[in-house]
Amino acid sequence: MLLLGQRRAGLVAAASGTALALLDQQETVRWWWNTLPAISTTCRADRQVQGTVDELAVQRDRLRQVLYR
């Protein structure tokens, strides 16, 4: 419907289909809803570790510059 220019009808159909799928898969939705905070925490920890690794690389390069002058 979206491709045929019937945007409103396409959005209604998509929203209806999504709602029906969510009603049918309540346990799956509940599991994802409960899991998302853990994923967010893991991503935040990953970014912190990456920041530390990047900072260590900068310090390593500075140390090399001082030692090999």
pLDDT at 1 over 70: no
Q: How confident is the model at residue 4 (pLDDT cuts 50, 70, 90)?
A: confident
- Whether 6 and 13 have beta carbons less than 8 Å apart is answered as no
Q: For residue 10, what pLDDT is reported?
A: 84
pLDDT tens-digit readout, 8-33:
888 888 888 888 888 888 888 888 78
What's the farthest any 2 CA atoms get from each other in the chain?
Answer: 70
pLDDT tens-digit readout, 27-51:
888 887 888 887 778 878 888 889 8
d(CA 42, CA 66) in angstroms, rounded, equals 36
